[in-house]
């Protein structure tokens, strides 16, 4: 098998965490405004997170194994490194044993990225490049490295994590393809996607990596949409349940007897 030229993340925001999961790589979404992890919710076989339009986010990937791995990152069906329609055989990020890194945007060069930001579906990068079909999904394909005598590494100490500056939502006209899809699907359609935000510094370098197999050892995906959309689908509890309105909005049976009018 020929040696492949791929990208390894050398991020100032990288942190190191001990192993804890059965899958080699964990996938999490971080709100870059607050630094909080977005809660993940299981619903009918899918895992969902709620994104707020206009909020920048990062994809946090953590290697919970003692060997290097290659992570091919797909956002809205687009490879976050190359911009191609995503396929597991493409380039990605290489993580050292026990390493965690936050991928903050679309890779523009070895030095910078265009920030990930939740935005309206028509303004998503995938829709603006004519590929709206898979908007609303963040996924990764993980490959082990081929070795003659693999030796598991020991987890290093836990380190801190720094945050970077906020990204900005770009504005654009709605494409004809997205308009047609919206007309066909109406209110049931995906509400948000991932925009092509402001450029920011995020250095990487090339490294060699030989895959142990042509098939990924792990494929993971998270779906996302607005909190309102997820509440309507039953993924999240409805924020304004009847019991919360009781006593503050008109009630058919408020109790008591008939009082004299004033």
Please write the tens of the pLDDT for every residue from 137-188: 999 999 999 986 555 666 665 444 333 322 222 233 334 444 444 444 433 5
DSSP, collapsed to helix, strand or coil, labels residue 100 as strand
Query: pTM (2 decimals)?
Result: 0.71
Angstrom distance (rounded) from CA 104 to CA 201: 10
Predicted pLDDT at 147? 82
Question: H or E element: which one contains 126?
Answer: helix 125-128
Task: Give the mean pLDDT of 121-125.
Answer: 95
DSSP one-letter string for 150-184: --PPPPPPP------PPP-----PPPHHHHHHHHH
CA–CA distance from 256 to each of 129, 243, 259, 260 (Å)? Answer: 62, 19, 9, 12
Cα four-point dihedral sign 38, 42, 45, 50: negative
Predicted pLDDT at 25? 97
Angstrom distance (rounded) from CA 31 to CA 137: 16
Nearest Cα residue to 126 out of 164, 91, 87, 177: 177
Contact 25, 64 (CB under 8 A): yes
Question: H or E element: which one contains 49?
Answer: strand 46-50
Kindly tell me if the per-residue pLDDT of 204 is higher than 60. yes
Average pLDDT of the chain to the nearest whole number: 78
Count other C-beta atoms under 10 Å from residue 246's C-beta: 10
Predicted pLDDT at 237? 86
Predicted pLDDT at 251? 53
The percentage of the chain sitting over the pLDDT mark of 70, rounded to a whole number, equals 67
């Amino acid at each position: 098998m020929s040696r492949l030229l791929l990208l390894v993340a050398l991020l100032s925001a990288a942190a190191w965490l001990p192993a804890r999961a059965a899958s080699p790589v964990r996938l999490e979404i971080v709100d870059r405004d607050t630094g909080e992890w977005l809660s993940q919710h299981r619903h009918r076989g899918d895992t969902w997170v709620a994104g707020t339009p206009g909020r920048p986010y990062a994809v946090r990937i953590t290697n919970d194994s003692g060997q290097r791995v290659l992570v091919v990152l797909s956002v809205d069906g687009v490879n976050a490194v190359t911009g191609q329609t995503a396929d597991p055989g493409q380039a990605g990020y290489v993580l050292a044993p026990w390493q965690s890194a936050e991928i903050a945007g679309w890779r523009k060069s070895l030095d910078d990225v265009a920030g990930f930001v939740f935005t309206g579906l028509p303004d998503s990068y995938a829709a603006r490049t004519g590929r709206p079909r898979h908007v609303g999904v963040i996924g990764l394909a993980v490959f082990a490295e081929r070795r003659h005598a693999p030796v598991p590494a020991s987890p290093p100490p836990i380190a801190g994590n720094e945050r970077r500056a906020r990204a900005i939502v770009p504005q654009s006209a709605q494409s004809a393809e997205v308009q047609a899809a919206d007309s066909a699907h109406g209110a049931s359609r995906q509400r948000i996607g991932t925009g092509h935000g402001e450029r920011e510094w995020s250095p990487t370098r090339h490294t060699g990596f030989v895959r142990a197999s042509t098939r990924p050892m792990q494929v993971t995906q998270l779906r996302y949409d607005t909190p309102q959309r997820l509440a309507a689908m039953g993924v999240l509890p409805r924020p304004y349940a009847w019991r919360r309105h009781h006593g503050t909005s008109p009630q058919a049976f408020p109790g008591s007897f008939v009082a004299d009018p004033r």
